[in-house]
Amino acid sequence: MTKQLKVVFMGTPDFAVPSLKKLFEAGFEIPLVITQPDRPAGRGKRIKPPPVKVLAEKFNIPVYQPEKVKGNEELLNKLKEISPDLIVVAAYGKILPNEILDLPKFGCINVHASLLPEYRGASPIQSALLDGKEKTGVTIMLISPELDAGDIISQKEVLIDRKDNAQTLHDKLANLGAELLVETIPYYVSGKLKPIPQENSKATYCKPITKEMGKIDWTLPAEKIFNMIRAFTPWPSAYTTFRGKRIKLLEAEPIEGSGNPGEVIKADKELVISTGEGALKVKKLRPEGKKEISGEEFIRGYRIKVGEKFF
């Protein structure tokens, strides 16, 4: 079944890479990969190709990078010419118009990083961490015009470790999604797996992450700040101010302790900061313009005293 199936792949960032790799390795015919245009990235703002393009070129798969998909006649004609059986989407970054959704024989399916209908939208991985969830997962779904509201074809759960941050959970879900995708497609196209409508009444939504969301409010409970640090590592980072400089907190642990919110209550071998409820032991941080250091290195290097405050 896989060898006869013609699949167009649409994806852009690192999350989509394992899905394309698995499809290629499973022997699906992939006549075209559609991804976002090359963009400036990093400090030097050099033009960089999306990760999916890099992999597609390695596999010698033709790549098309349209600026827009809605009302794009060239894109539509390319797809009509190929006449794909299926379009697979993984973090492509644009909403597909009906003329594309209706084109493939088996429709368009999406790899989504949550157990839908929970966390529809742009930030399911960070949102699961922010909410302190103990498990999340991936969903293979039919794409519908409404955001992440299509019928569910298959799902798989994964436990969230207390040590997970957005990067480690991203990698777990990207790999899990790729595995589930190649397992699901043969059953779906053969009719053995019937898509099931989502329970819209249980839907929750998550917004795109912004830099401002990383600012720590020390009046919050330690557990909430701990979840923020996990959710915003590596980007945009949970940050605070100390002695007038911005500091990114990269790893911490909620512990018992009390004092004024933001106040250093321990500064020997451990850096402990009081919060609105409990305290936070800071394990790794990055002072503005400096490299990542441990809490102990920070205490020694900056001669931190009990009673000093983070804002």
| Beta-bridge mates of residue 239 | 215, 248
**Residue stretches of the annotated binding site for (6S)-5,6,7,8-tetrahydrofolate:** 114-117
What tens digit of pLDDT does each residue of 73-130 get? Answer: 999 999 999 999 999 999 999 999 999 999 999 999 999 999 999 999 999 999 999 9
The yes-or-no verdict on residue 267 having pLDDT over 80 is yes
What tens digit of pLDDT does each residue of 134-148 get? Answer: 999 999 999 999 999
What tens digit of pLDDT does each residue of 213-256 get? Answer: 999 999 999 999 999 999 999 999 999 999 999 999 999 999 99
Residue where the block lists tokens 């993984």:
90
DSSP track, 130-170: HTT-SEEEEEEEE--SSTT-SPEEEEEEEEPPTT--HHHHH
Tokens found for residue 144: 């519908």
CB contact set of 11 (below 8 Å; sequence gap of 6+): 17, 19, 20, 33, 35, 52, 88, 89, 90, 91, 92
Average pLDDT, the chain: 96
Inter-CA distances, 290 with 146, 252, 301, Å = 44, 19, 12
The yes-or-no verdict on residue 3 having pLDDT over 70 is no
Q: What are phi and psi of 132, to 5 degrees?
A: 65, 30
Position 149 scores a pLDDT of 96
Domain ranges of the chain: 7-206, 211-302
Q: What's the CATH code, domain 211-302?
A: 3.10.25.10
| Beta-bridge mates of residue 64 | 34
Q: What secondary structure letter does DSSP report for 87?
A: E
Position 2 scores a pLDDT of 56
Whether 111 contacts 88, CB under 8 Å: yes
Can you say how many angstroms the Cα of residue 81 is from the centroid of all Cα atoms in its chain? 33
Q: Looking at domain 7-206, which CATH architecture does it have?
A: 3-Layer(aba) Sandwich (3.40)
Position 1 scores a pLDDT of 52
Whether 12 contacts 91, CB under 8 Å: yes
User: Residue 187: CA atoms inside 13 Å, Cβ hemisphere, count?
Assistant: 12
Whole-number percent of the chain with pLDDT over 70: 99
Distance between CA atoms of 81 and 90, rounded to whole angstroms?
Answer: 22
Position 285 scores a pLDDT of 98
Q: What secondary structure letter does DSSP report for 202?
A: G
Whether 189 contacts 183, CB under 8 Å: no
Calculate mean pLDDT across residues 269-295: 97
**Residue stretches of the annotated binding site:** 114-117
Distance between CA atoms of 195 and 311, rounded to whole angstroms?
Answer: 50
Strand, coil or helix: what is 173? Answer: helix
Position 45 scores a pLDDT of 85
Residue where the block lists tokens 């941050």:
165
Residue where the block lists tokens 């797809």:
79
pTM for this predicted structure: 0.95
Q: How confident is the model at residue 276 (pLDDT cuts 50, 70, 90)?
A: very high
The yes-or-no verdict on residue 209 having pLDDT over 80 is yes
